[in-house]
Amino acid sequence: MEAASVPTARRTPPAPAPTPRRSRGAGAIAFSATKVGVLLLAVAWIVPLALLAVTPMKSFEEYSDTSQWSLPSDPLQLFDNMKEAWDSAGLGSAFLASLSYGLVGALVAILCGALGAYAITRLELKGRFFWFLLVFSGTLFPFQMYLIPLFQLYTDTQLYDTWIGMALFYSAIAVPFCLFVMRGFFSTIPPEIEDAAKLDGASSWGILWRVLMPLARGPIAVLILFQFTWIWNDFMFGLVLSTSDGVRPIMPALVGLQGSSSTAGPPVVLAGALIGSLPTIALFLLLGRYLLSGLTLTATGKDE
Amino acid sequence: MAAPLARPAPAGAAPSAPAREAGLAPPPAGSRRRALRRLTPYLYLLPMVLLVGIFLLYPAVKTVWVAFTDATGTSAGSFVGFDNFSRLVNDPAFRTSVRNTVYWVIGALVLQVGLGLLLALILSNMRAGDWLKRLFYLPATLSGAAVGVIWFYVFNPDQGLLTSFLDAVGLESLTTRWLADPPINTFAMIFAATWQGLGPAMILFLVGLQNLPREPIEAARVDGARGLRLFWHVTLPLLRPMSAVVVAITLINNFKVFDLIWVMTQGGPYRSSETLAVSMYRESFVTFAVGYGASIAVVLTLIVTILSVFYLRSMFRKVEVY
């Protein structure tokens, strides 16, 4: 039903000239029908977000005695629930651990990707495309392909359940996309820009740091946002490669809080989910434009 | 030790400058230095190749080997040929898992791609569009684990949002134990995944619509095409490169969903809502049939690879079109 009215909606505003007058009335009705449809869908999209925001404002008694649809009687309960979530199941230390993984992982990956991209686009190198494909193929596999040998490798080398082990893995998994973006960006910069620096006797290292990297601030911002969000939201690798508080990232800690062995009530669990979601929501609201351009970058390989 | 430390910065330029000023021929050590200089580019590659090689490529290759062994949690096992794969074919849990994976892929295709396209078409012409785009994209910034936690409570059979809503509008006959009854539990989770995945699909379609060439659409309008016919015969074919990308990304992502399912049902009850990704985890890290788990990972990879080829081909075709 909605499908039929879509093209009408598309036609009505942008084509005033060739559209015959008679279709206007019917078009307007169809257009407002699609409007209502979209608004209903928007409400359906808001409700779970509201659950995430409102339930942590209720006490456990209030949650069990009233409907989930009811509004909280004492919204300040939010801070009690957030504090309880932060203190239980190691969520607070997991929050800080994930913060460090996200920042370190993104920066190390961008550094390695930029070095590699520079060599591939600028230096005398045999098999440029081979090196690119080799590293880029690292993300082509479903993540399930990494789990078993990684777990074995980590237990054999004492990297299992260590901060450095987690940071190394998160850096590695972010590298291929960083290489992809930096290589694309460097190849759009005309080589003449480096000529002045070369005449001054700058080394390849100096050209990379003084000429190219300052130009790449835009792509680097996109990469930090994208990789930080990815690392922050990861659940599976944190679950497999770590167990103890202080090493375990935020999402496995949140799931531990929700799990069957936990005694926390739904308001506290959802307060934990809120804590785990606030950083990425804030990033999106503040810098959403960059996230979206990163998204089109992943999909099409072009910066829109 | 000293030479490699000094080398990256000057790369031969600084030390040779005084030599050139003094009018000297290249020193006898020049050939060694030249060899070093030829090596420098590869040093730039080294950190990235080491990281990706050790933590991604080596594990991926090794999983293929493990899939042909009877490894367990404690032993590396020995080579057993295709035993794991023939066991898969006869395993009812694996068949359930494949069926659920197909549900996921078809559901994602219809809901995420279909609704995403529909929303993109409507919002591109709507005044409050920007505000709504943000709203529909917002769930995509949450993690799969957080989405799972939220929807776990939405689908709570006793007092969850959905059950109490249906009660309130007099449809209590429709209520069920959403996450316990197969195949409803899989459909419920596909719906939660749609809540999360719709935004990116919509944004990509919006980008595609923005970049459509204007002339063919105007020409078709002048020829009298409008409404569904204009959409079906002109807009949709022009949008095909982006549609292929969205379809492929959605397919590939929904083949691999793990966190959402693990949080909401752990693949249960009685393994009824497992997908390939969840079965792989359960066999490898819960029952410790590591070799068997690896064979599921290989099957998953084969399927995703076939889809990726389709994706890459559509990407290259897109390059030719523009």
Query: Is the CB of A142 less than 8 angstroms away from the CB of B14?
Result: no
Query: What DSSP line would sit under B225-271, residue for residue?
Result: --HHHHIIIIIHHHTHHHHHHHHHHHHHHHHS--HHHHHHTTT-STT
Pick the last residue of a domain from B16, B38, B66: B66
Quick one: A38 and A164 in the same domain?
no
Question: Do residues B221 and B235 lie in contact, with contact meaning Cβ atoms separated by under 8 Å?
Answer: no
Quick one: B29 and B172 in the same domain?
no
Give a yes or no: residue A69 inside a domain. Answer: no
Quick one: B136 and B279 in the same domain?
yes
All residues of chain A having their beta carbon less than 8 Å from the beta carbon of residue B317 are: none
Residue B79 has phi, psi (to 5 degrees) of: -65, 130
How would residue A101 be classed by pLDDT, with cut points 50, 70 and 90? very high
Residues 141 to 180 of B: which have CB under 8 A from any A CB?
A: 141-146, 148-154, 156, 159-161, 164-165, 168
Quick one: B27 and B91 in the same domain?
no
All residues of chain B having their beta carbon less than 8 Å from the beta carbon of residue A169 are: 55
- For position A293, what pLDDT does the model report? 66
Is the minimum CB–CB distance between B102 and chain A shorter than 8 Å? no
Question: For residue B251, which of B130, B112, B119, B122 has the smallest C-alpha distance?
Answer: B112
- CATH number of the domain at A232, please: 1.10.3720.10
Give a yes or no: residue B97 inside a domain. Answer: yes
Q: For chain A, give the mean pLDDT.
A: 82
Structure-block tokens of residue B263: 């949080």
Residues 226 to 265 of B: which have CB under 8 A from any A CB?
A: 226-228, 230-231, 235, 242, 245-246, 249, 255-256, 258-259, 262-263
CB pairs under 8 A between A and B: 310
Query: Is the CB of A49 less than 8 angstroms away from the CB of B139?
Result: yes
- Is pLDDT above 50 for B1? no
Quick one: A17 and A140 in the same domain?
no
- For position A31, what pLDDT does the model report? 66
Give a yes or no: residue A34 inside a domain. Answer: yes
Quick one: A99 and A158 in the same domain?
yes
Give a yes or no: residue A130 inside a domain. Answer: yes
Is the minimum CB–CB distance between B63 and chain A shorter than 8 Å? yes
Quick one: A11 and A138 in the same domain?
no
- Is pLDDT above 70 for A222? yes
Q: For chain B, give the mean pLDDT.
A: 81
Quick one: B188 and B266 in the same domain?
yes
**Tens digit of each residue's pLDDT (9 = 90 or more) over B128-141:** 677 888 889 999 99
Give a yes or no: residue B279 inside a domain. Answer: yes
- Chosen for mutation from B137, B141, B167, B314 (greatest number of chain A CBs closer than 10 Å) is B141
Considering only CB atoms, B154 lies closest to which of A51, A113, A151, namely A51
Give a yes or no: residue B71 inside a domain. Answer: no
Give a yes or no: residue B153 inside a domain. Answer: yes
- Is pLDDT above 80 for B23? no
Average pLDDT over residues A95-123: 94
Quick one: B132 and B10 in the same domain?
no
- For position B319, what pLDDT does the model report? 45
- Is pLDDT above 50 for B21? no
- For position B28, what pLDDT does the model report? 52
- For position A167, what pLDDT does the model report? 96
Q: Number of structural domains, chain A?
A: 2
What is the domain range of residue A48? Answer: 1-57
Quick one: B39 and B182 in the same domain?
no
- CATH number of the domain at B164, please: 1.10.3720.10
Considering only CB atoms, B56 lies closest to which of A7, A146, A284, namely A146
Alpha-carbon gap, residue A284 to A63, rounded angstroms: 30
- Chosen for mutation from B34, B40, B48 (greatest number of chain A CBs closer than 10 Å) is B48
What is the domain range of residue B125? Answer: 83-321
Query: Is the CB of B123 less than 8 angstroms away from the CB of A38?
Result: yes
Pick the last residue of a domain from A57, A73, A96: A57
Alpha helical stretches, state H, B67-173: 83-89, 92-108, 115-123, 129-137, 144-154, 161-168
Q: Number of structural domains, chain B?
A: 2
Quick one: B149 and B291 in the same domain?
yes
Quick one: B60 and B87 in the same domain?
no
Quick one: B59 and B112 in the same domain?
no
Is the minimum CB–CB distance between B195 and chain A shorter than 8 Å? yes
Global confidence as pTM? 0.82
Considering only CB atoms, B315 lies closest to which of A9, A173, A301, namely A301
Quick one: A111 and A199 in the same domain?
yes
Query: Is the CB of B258 less than 8 angstroms away from the CB of A15?
Result: no
Average pLDDT over residues B221-250: 82
Quick one: B139 and B106 in the same domain?
yes
Quick one: B109 and B14 in the same domain?
no
Residue type, A129: F
Quick one: A256 and A122 in the same domain?
yes
Alpha helical stretches, state H, A57-207: 60-65, 77-87, 91-122, 128-136, 144-156, 163-186, 195-199, 204-207
